[in-house]
Structure 1
Amino acid sequence: MNARHPVDDETPLGEQATPNHVVVVDIQGLRYPIRSALDPAYVHKLARYVERTMDAASSAVPIGESTKLAVLAALNIADEALRSRDEESRVASELVEKAAELERLIDAVLAKHGQFEI
């Protein structure tokens, strides 16, 4: 990570601090200079992930149709991101419900033993 502008790996590229360096990545045999405030190793990790997703999608796209391949890979990545976000939200909701139930149980025990008035 860059010491001047620390950015965690969870910050989306569009929301990060002012880009302060350029990282060159290779995807599908093409080089892309990426201006970013993210850790260069993380940017390379993102590029490898995109490359793997495009490789997996390539079986469904005729050779030479790189735009279609990129869109299909982007849709697959978006699907993964949205499913992950939905699952994260579901788990967070379950945790809130369980915490509320624990609070009710603790309050009931304390009230039963006269140590806490509700």
Structure 2
Amino acid sequence: MNKVSVNILGRTYDVEVAPGDELLIYSLAEYVEQKLIEAQRDTGIVDTQKLAILAALNIADELFRLKNSRENVSGILDKKAEELIKVLDKALSA
């Protein structure tokens, strides 16, 4: 494991990451900081603990929406694949 230092809202956090994931953790820290800044801007809250909870809820909301969207797309693709297989089976048996 490698140790990486990231800065979020002026505070430094040391994070252990797998080799090769250093750039990922920097990107994640930047994303989290942006979400904290957005939450602070939108609500006026300055308490970092409250901001962290609000940002976590916003990120969780994004995740849930993306998962649901992916599941919907996956269902549509499965249905289309089944339809295509039926069409191909029909064409090949003719």
> Is the shorter-chain TM-score for this pair beyond 0.5, marking a shared fold?
yes
Aligned to 2:71: 89
TM-score by length of 2: 0.92
Gaps of 5+ in 1: 1-19, 113-118
Q: RMSD of the alignment, in Å?
A: 1.1
Gaps of 5+ in 2: none
Greater helix fraction, Structure 1 or Structure 2? 2
Q: Which has the larger radius of gyration?
A: 1
- Provide the rounded CA distance (Å) in 2 between the counterparts of 1:25 and 1:31: 6
- Provide the rounded CA distance (Å) in 1 between the counterparts of 2:45 and 2:74: 41
Question: Where in structure 2 are the equivalents of 1:45-56 lying within 5 Å?
Answer: 45-56=27-38
Which deviations, in whole Å up to 9, do the C-alpha atoms of 1:4-57 show, x marking residues without a partner? xxxxxxxxxxxxxxxx01110000100000111151011000000000000000
Q: Which runs of 4+ in 1 moved over 4 A?
A: none
**What is the CA distance between 1:61 and its match in structure 2?**
4.0
- Provide the rounded CA distance (Å) in 2 between the counterparts of 1:71 and 1:31: 19
TM-score by length of 1: 0.74
- Per the alignment, in what secondary structure is the counterpart of residue 45 of structure 2? coil
**What is the CA distance between 1:66 and its match in structure 2?**
0.7
